[in-house]
Structure 1
């Protein structure tokens, strides 16, 4: 469905500017106030002079004294080890009030293997008591330290407000259990258009466009991942960090297209998602899309793939939301002469996941729209790719039918990402050709008509309920 014709693979890979210095302090657990636990040093890899081994009981805690220059939001990043397979959740309280409840501290594989888990809280000006309290009889993990970043969080940024997402019923819900709609952009294939995904363009996407989510489109074939797994995995890691710095969600797109059966790439997918989920498990802004546009494969084949891949991610990131592409190039089966009934009759046996739908408004009209309407009340759906043009990502824009889709998506709080954030020659690329060679991405000047249209619809205020 997307414009995925062969393109030169020799385009340059952009570098990242160094981020500005942030207000960051570190506090060692072994020097904090400990209740029902011991400072120990019998497992390698800790920082400072040791770590805290929580007693195996509910209510054990470590309390840090944290000073903030001014009142406001902060990111607390806990470094920990959990050598068991059981989650050891903790409540994070600030000055006696729980600020982040039930934060997961999943197994890290060994007591000498250290991971991180982050939580966003609000600190008062001056001294603050930050307490991490075990909420189960397993106690807490071994806690090494907490890093406090008072400069990395801006009030109102999408990932900061909504926190860890989860699927509730047929909706995508935020940390408060409220349905939310995320709106954002998809990169073009990063093997071709990485020069369009850089500091200036992402600053514009987050601040000028008001995007909630960045879809990182990593092709498996077509000169992508399979040609250099290390390079492309590292590129994805970098883009995740850039989205995180700007308070956006990072949607990691395993962009299999040819072959259309995702089972053909399942070994590669296991390797890729194991590393990505392990590296970023402590973040609350990661979404995993394990199959972009399955085609030439039955729904049963996609279901089998999903039920093998979802546990791969869950083993590393128990809380992460997973997306699964539908048959017929993400059309709920319509482009294959099927319907959403295939899915309804044989749903994926998993939780905390969503099915994806793609449309190109000039090509996919009543039959596709009606299928989306029918399915949206029965299964959780996210539109990970759409365009205002034909399914090739080219041709004239049909803004009227595009608006019909977007009105329905807004009314039903179904999230979307638009194809695509590049200066490709096609009408579906939002920037005029040559834009990505420079550093001017704000306003409407650099944009094609489709870019102006989708930017306008992204700039309307988000509705992220918190109570």
Structure 2
């Protein structure tokens, strides 16, 4: 595909506001949920080891909060009663007025449930945020302990909310579980080919305000999405400017997707420079941490090269064969996606073809190649290449639009439908660009929508948003036998 000027947003076109990983809110399930219950447990009423109950910072609930001692091993332990054994979601409300992460290890009845869960800076001790993690509870009393893992101790802890009965009928990640590549298809835990459909965020350095509980609730429940692509640019004001901040944002978005039963597609959005090898040291650091922290989840997919360009297929292959083992060392089961040459066009935009890949495939397993198209620009030649490649290679469309390759201009819904019909018939998954209120026609929300809290229905959507939402609302059958 041609070079992508659309991604180089300016401050005039997009908000540069840095926001913490979004707080959690209870989802309203589109499918019929299992009966749910939420209980609140105030930290000041829990068992405390090396910490004090205080009330000198505004915004807490109950009678105060726990200020951990600055010591590794300090902890707060809650006693939580569950009517039946099963899955639950823990949400811890906290404040961290320091500049450093103050991670907590979470155990349930003495067994590790989440190691070094991040509790990143909230900006002030009176600014409260939440962190979530899924656990499994036993019937009856459960001891849930949050233990500081560093010498700085834990954050100020206000309370623990426990939501039981959180498994919901039909949620994509609950039904399909750990994915794997079987032949040319993406298969679920039952070995059955499936098609995942969802949305890609815009660059989170510009549009993080569009990725928040209300919008993600709408995506999961009103739109019926299966997957959230988390688009983290490397350059253009992204990861390289503040690796800690952007890694923590991605951690938070993974937790948000997990809470809603969505797959989290972690996108290393390299674009300029187009050779992914230029960023390989940064990629190693980033994916090592992401895979290490989330390796026990079954809903993580790793997209290690967004749109390689002005680089040979041999160069991309070399990069992939170095990066896939980095992820495998932490998460042996994780599916990996690899971008193809020519801006994800299987080489067509570089004057090449998918034959480069067929003749020289990546030496690895459990991975897929990615393809991008913008229907108003990429028609017969690109469609033919995808058709040929899909018969021989495992393909996932990690980015497409109904407009031109700039992400703007008129929508070609007819040719878009031609693509989507082919993808459905061949069980090829897709994520649409983009889940924001950017001024371009490819952004699904009308300008200004992300400042509010209403993301459901069609009234907040541009024509492209109405079109893609409608096509997401008829789910794959997700076979289990």
Common topology (TM > 0.5): yes
The match for 1:17 is 23
**Quick one: which of 122, 145, 158 aligns to 2:172?**
158
TM-score, normalised by the number of residues in structure 1: 0.75
**1:462 deviation in Å?**
2.5
In 1, Cα distance between the equivalents of 2:323 and 2:436? 30
**1:70 deviation in Å?**
6.1
The match for 1:136 is none
**Quick one: which of 411, 432, 448 aligns to 2:462?**
448
State whether residues 134 and 259 of structure 2, in contact with CA within 8 Å, keep that contact through their aligned partners in structure 1.
no
State whether residues 24 and 150 of structure 1, in contact with CA within 8 Å, keep that contact through their aligned partners in structure 2.
no
Q: Which runs of 4+ in 1 moved over 2 A?
A: 13-25, 44-48, 66-71, 73-77, 112-116, 118-123, 148-152
When the two chains are superposed, the root-mean-square deviation of aligned CA atoms in Å is 3.0
Alignment size in residue pairs: 377
Identify if the C-alpha distance between structure 1 residues 47 and 432 changes in structure 2 by more than 3 Å, giving closer, same or farther.
closer
TM-score, normalised by the number of residues in structure 2: 0.73
In 1, Cα distance between the equivalents of 2:195 and 2:249? 27
**1:152 deviation in Å?**
2.6
In 2, Cα distance between the equivalents of 1:432 and 1:18? 24
State whether residues 208 and 443 of structure 1, in contact with CA within 8 Å, keep that contact through their aligned partners in structure 2.
yes
State whether residues 172 and 181 of structure 1, in contact with CA within 8 Å, keep that contact through their aligned partners in structure 2.
yes
**1:351 deviation in Å?**
0.3
In 2, Cα distance between the equivalents of 1:114 and 1:450? 39
Q: Is there any run of 5+ residues in structure 1 with no aligned partner, and where?
A: 26-43, 49-65, 78-111, 128-147
Query: What secondary structure does 2:398 align onto?
Result: strand
Tell me, yes or no, if structure 1 residue 290 matches structure 2 residue 304.
yes
**Quick one: which of 206, 226, 244 aligns to 2:220?**
206
Identify if the C-alpha distance between structure 1 residues 452 and 261 changes in structure 2 by more than 3 Å, giving closer, same or farther.
same
**1:12 deviation in Å?**
1.7
Tell me, yes or no, if structure 1 residue 318 matches structure 2 residue 332.
yes
**1:67 deviation in Å?**
8.8
Q: Is there any run of 5+ residues in structure 2 with no aligned partner, and where?
A: 27-36, 42-71, 91-111, 117-132, 141-161
Alignment of 1:429-448 (within 5 A): 429-448=443-462
The match for 1:195 is 209
In 2, Cα distance between the equivalents of 1:304 and 1:459? 39
Identify if the C-alpha distance between structure 1 residues 19 and 453 changes in structure 2 by more than 3 Å, giving closer, same or farther.
closer
The match for 2:351 is 337
In 2, Cα distance between the equivalents of 1:389 and 1:166? 32
Identify if the C-alpha distance between structure 1 residues 22 and 268 changes in structure 2 by more than 3 Å, giving closer, same or farther.
farther
State whether residues 240 and 250 of structure 1, in contact with CA within 8 Å, keep that contact through their aligned partners in structure 2.
yes
The match for 2:243 is 229
Alignment of 1:261-410 (within 5 A): 261-410=275-424
In 2, Cα distance between the equivalents of 1:243 and 1:376? 28
**Quick one: which of 426, 439, 461 aligns to 1:412?**
426
Identify if the C-alpha distance between structure 1 residues 447 and 215 changes in structure 2 by more than 3 Å, giving closer, same or farther.
same
